Structure formats: structure tokens, C-alpha cells
């Protein structure tokens, strides 16, 4: 049996805690397997996951720690984006009978997953969280000034003079009008 397959019918009533680790190569391979278009690489991921039986359901609470490395969306410099977030999942059996009020309360604030057989694959849980927690837009720093649209220089490294010589688009429009003779210049 897979080491991170947790048999839910063997859990003690108070639940059990598992540490799942995914090395950088395995985590990066996951990103590639899913066809992620961004050139991201993952650092080592780890998660401490508590699995608690709750009647017909199984609650999975955890926290993912790790990081991905990729280009900043503004300056393109490689930067590390920390991941880290708690997650709360509820695994339910395929044939869920009528839902009681108490259960609905849980289901409102927890993501539902379908229990496949009698076990939960914690590696799959960590893989899913890796994708859910990926930054939508990586930035090296909130203050990143990005690349100059004129000379392409990294404005974090060196201020360039383009800012001064770039014509204000409003003046450019005015100049175009003048060129066409629409505005007289006397």
C-alpha cells in the first residue's frame, strides 16, 4: 500500500496526524505533469495533516509549507513565492444520505471531496493544495518597479532616463493633430 494512503476505517476516534513531504524534484514534476504553462519550479513541500473521522465523513485539516520559484510578472527576475496556507477538506462517501442541519453547517465552510474506497491519498491532497495555493501573479516584491517599456531596463536595478523623454500620450495626440493640420499653431 502507498505510504500516504490513510485507511479511514483504521483511524482512532480522535484522529491521527501525518507528515507528508514532497521533495523539490517531485513537486516540480507535479507542476509539469499538469501542464502548467508558467515556468515555475517548486521547492520542497511539506504538510502536517490531521485526519479525523466524523461519522460518515472524514475531516482533513492541514497546512502546506513550501515555495515556488519563477519569474516576477513585472521585472522577470527569478523570485521565490512562499506558499503556505491552511486547508480544510471534508471527505464524503459517494452515497450521501439526506443531510442533517449540523452536517450542512460543516459543508458550508469546508471543501468536499469524494472518498475513493476506504482510504485517502495524502500525497494527492498535497498535490491539489500546491495548485490551489499557486500565486496568480508572482511579484518579487510589492514595490517592484518592473521593466521600462521603452528601453527594457530593470527599473529596480537602475533608473533610466526614458521616463523623461517619453512623450506624454496626450501631447503625442496633440502633435499628431498639428501634423495633420487640424490644429493651427500660430
Q: Quick one: 150 or 173, whose CB is closer to Zn ion?
A: 150
**CA–CA distances in Å: residue 165 to residues 162, 172, 177:** 5, 12, 20
Which segment (1-9, 52-60, 64-72, 178-186) binds Zn ion by CB under 5 A? 64-72
By CB under 5 A, residue 36 contacts Zn ion: no
Q: C-beta of 157: minimal distance to Zn ion in Å? A: 10
One character per residue 66-85, x = contact with Zn ion (rule: CB under 5 A): ------x-xx----------
What DSSP state is assigned to residue 154? B
Q: Quick one: 124 or 134, whose CB is closer to Zn ion?
A: 134
- Out of 40, 110, 144, 174, point to the residue binding Zn ion (CB under 5 A): 144
Q: Quick one: 137 or 170, whose CB is closer to Zn ion?
A: 137
By CB under 5 A, residue 40 contacts Zn ion: no
Strand partners, 17: 50
- Nearest-Å Rg of the Cα atoms of the chain is 26
Per-residue exposure over 135-163, b if at least 16 CB sit within 10 Å of its own CB, e if not = eeebebeeebeebbeeeeebbbeeebeee
Query: What kind and span of H or E run contains 57?
Result: strand 57-71
Q: Quick one: 75 or 103, whose CB is closer to Zn ion?
A: 75
- Whole-angstrom distance, CA of residue 49 vs CA of residue 18: 5
- Whole-angstrom distance, CA of residue 82 vs CA of residue 41: 12
Q: C-beta of 173: minimal distance to Zn ion in Å? A: 22
- Out of 151, 172, 177, 183, point to the residue binding Zn ion (CB under 5 A): 151
- Out of 36, 61, 69, 162, point to the residue binding Zn ion (CB under 5 A): 162
Tell me, letter by letter, the H, E, C secondary structure of 29-44: HHHHHCCCCCCCEECC
Q: C-beta of 146: minimal distance to Zn ion in Å? A: 6
Q: Which residues bind Zn ion (CB under 5 A)?
A: 72, 74-75, 140, 144, 148, 150-151, 153, 160, 162
Amino acid at each position: 500500500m502507498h505510504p500516504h494512503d490513510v485507511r479511514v476505517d483504521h483511524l482512532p476516534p480522535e484522529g491521527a496526524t501525518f507528515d507528508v513531504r514532497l521533495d523539490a524534484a517531485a513537486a516540480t514534476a507535479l507542476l509539469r505533469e499538469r501542464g502548467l504553462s508558467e515556468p515555475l519550479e517548486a521547492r520542497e513541500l511539506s504538510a502536517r495533516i490531521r485526519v479525523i473521522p466524523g461519522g460518515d465523513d472524514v475531516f482533513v485539516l492541514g497546512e502546506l509549507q513550501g515555495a515556488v520559484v519563477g519569474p516576477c510578472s513585472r521585472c522577470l527576475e527569478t523570485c521565490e513565492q512562499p506558499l503556505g496556507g491552511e486547508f480544510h477538506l471534508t471527505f464524503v462517501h459517494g452515497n450521501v444520505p439526506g443531510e442533517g442541519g449540523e452536517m450542512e453547517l460543516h459543508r458550508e465552510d469546508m471543501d468536499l471531496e469524494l472518498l475513493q474506497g476506504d482510504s485517502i491519498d495524502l500525497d494527492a491532497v498535497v498535490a491539489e493544495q500546491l495548485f490551489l495555493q499557486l500565486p496568480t501573479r508572482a511579484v518579487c516584491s510589492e514595490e517592484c518597479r518592473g521593466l521600462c517599456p521603452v528601453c527594457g531596463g530593470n527599473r529596480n536595478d537602475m533608473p533610466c532616463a526614458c521616463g523623461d523623454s517619453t512623450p506624454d500620450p496626450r501631447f503625442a495626440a496633440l502633435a499628431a493633430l498639428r501634423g495633420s493640420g487640424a490644429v493651427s499653431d500660430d
